[in-house]
Amino acid sequence: MFECALPLLKECETFLVSGHINPDGDCVGSVCACAQLLQSLGKKVSIVCHDPVPENLHFLAVSWQLFSDLAERPQFDCMIILDTPQPERLGDVLQLFDQAKQSIVIDHHISNAEFGSVNVVASHVSSCGEMIFEMFTEMKVPISKASAQLLYVAISTDTGSFRFGNTTGRTHQIVADLIGTGIDHHYLNEQLYSYIRPERILLLKRFLNNVSFSESGAIVWSHLSESDLAECHADKADMDGFVNYLSDIRGIDIAFFAFSQAKDARIKVSFRAKGKADVNTLANQFGGGGHSQAAGCIFHGDIKTVSSMIIGSAERQRNEGMSC
Ligand SMILES: [Mn+2]
């Protein structure tokens, strides 16, 4: 998988590793494990991201530099970008990417723009965590318990606890190897899934209250706004995974969650598909993208117009799918 990246990984001495804005478990886990891999080879590595490690992942005891905190721009031979399909998803770190002479993009999003000087993009792989495991293997670096813990979290979160269709036999083999290093996966699962913040539950109450079904009943959606967050004293990370409640409903093909940001009237939409439905194609129509089962898109306008536009397209896509 990493043949094309090996020369750069070996030759370069200083690395800058980064991931996407609003980092999730896969981003945090794969970015930090990749940095640990390179450090164990004696390389000088810094991690710089637009956003901090989210609170729900603080138990991992990892941190990185924030772009906004940098006194001066770091010097590096090569930049490694993980889990980030488009350069814009780097946020302000894009400025560092623009000055990078060499870069390696490592990603599993089908929509990846392959914007690095070297690109390792494997859309059939569940998570970047799984790809970093392969990187350890191909570079013949033994996996420490600390890295194994990070990769377990990366893979577990991006596969919905090994439930999503992206989970393969290889995924389970990798996870067996990670557990073999002696990590306490029961502890990790408890930390990931059994420490829900009360603020999240209050927000979930509103989210469920806003659930609507399309006429056919096959499309379901809900919405929240920045003021919902403020009133529940919640933050953006508290909404993570809300859309999955919708796609778990019986009879649903497509689910989406629209979040309206107060500033610049932007509406961020997360899509989920079930069965044969494909939300990557749907999101593409509106300039977004992702995977066939999970995708995202940014809209401008009001929530009503945007949602009826999406429902219209999704219903059309369903009808076309049924006729062929
Ligand atoms: Mn990912």
Among residues 185, 241, 182, 183, which one has the least CA distance to residue 54?
Answer: 241
Write the pLDDT tens digit of every residue in 160-208: 999 988 999 999 999 999 999 999 999 999 999 999 999 999 999 999 9
Taking only the tens place, the pLDDT of each residue in 216-225 is: 999 999 999 9
| Cα 226 to Cα 202, 233, 264, distances in angstroms | 14, 11, 12
The average pLDDT across 46-54 equals 96
Distance 27 CA to ligand 1 centre (A): 6
CA 34 to chain centre: 16
Distance (Å) from CA 216 to ligand 1 centroid: 32
**263: CA distance to ligand 1 center in Å?**
27
Q: How far is CA 179 from CA 54, 298, 303, in A?
A: 24, 38, 44
- Gap from CA of 162 to ligand 1 centroid (Å): 13
Residue 160 half-sphere exposure, CB side, CA atoms within 13 Å?
A: 16
Ligand 1 mean position, distance from CA 20 (Å): 10
Write down the pLDDT at residue 322.
61
Distance 319 CA to ligand 1 centre (A): 30
Mean pLDDT value of segment 25-48: 97
User: How close is the Cα of 322 to the center of ligand 1, in Å?
Assistant: 31
Cα of 107 from ligand 1 centre, angstroms: 7
What is the arithmetic mean of pLDDT over 35-62?
96
Q: What was the pLDDT predicted at 111?
A: 86
Per-position DSSP letters for 212-262, written without gaps between them: EE-TTSSEEEEEEEHHHHHHTT--GGGGTTHHHHHHTSTT-SEEEEEEE-S
Which of 17-21, 57-61, 235-239 shows the lowest per-residue confidence on average (mean pLDDT)? Answer: 235-239
Quote the ligand 1 centre to 241 CA distance (angstroms).
Answer: 13
Percent of the chain at pLDDT > 90 equals 86
101 CA from centroid of ligand 1 (Å): 25
Per-residue pLDDT of 266-321, as tens digits, reads 999 999 999 889 999 999 999 999 888 899 999 998 899 999 999 999 999 888 87
Per-residue pLDDT tens digits for 156-169: 999 999 998 899 99
Distance 84 CA to ligand 1 centre (A): 8
Non-local (6+) Cβ contacts of 315 within 8 A are: 214, 215, 216, 218, 219
Q: What global pTM score does this model have?
A: 0.80
Query: Minimum mean pLDDT among 9-13, 72-76, 136-140: which range?
Result: 72-76
pLDDT value at 324 more than 50:
no
Å from CA of 202 to ligand 1 middle: 27
The three-state secondary structure class of 80 is: strand
pLDDT recorded at residue 55:
87
More confident residue, 319 or 107: 107
CA of 311 to the centre of ligand 1 (A): 26
Q: Which amino acid is at 314?
A: A
Distance 126 CA to ligand 1 centre (A): 7
Amino acid letter, residue 272? R
Distance (angstroms) between ligand 1 centre and the Cα of 156 equals 11
* Whether pLDDT at 26 is above 60: yes
pLDDT at 265: 81
Residue 16 has a pLDDT of 98
Q: CA-to-CA distance for 204 and 23, rounded, in angstroms?
A: 21
Query: Ligand 1: distance of its center to the CA of 131 in Å?
Result: 10
Ligand 1: centre distance to CA 240 (Å): 13
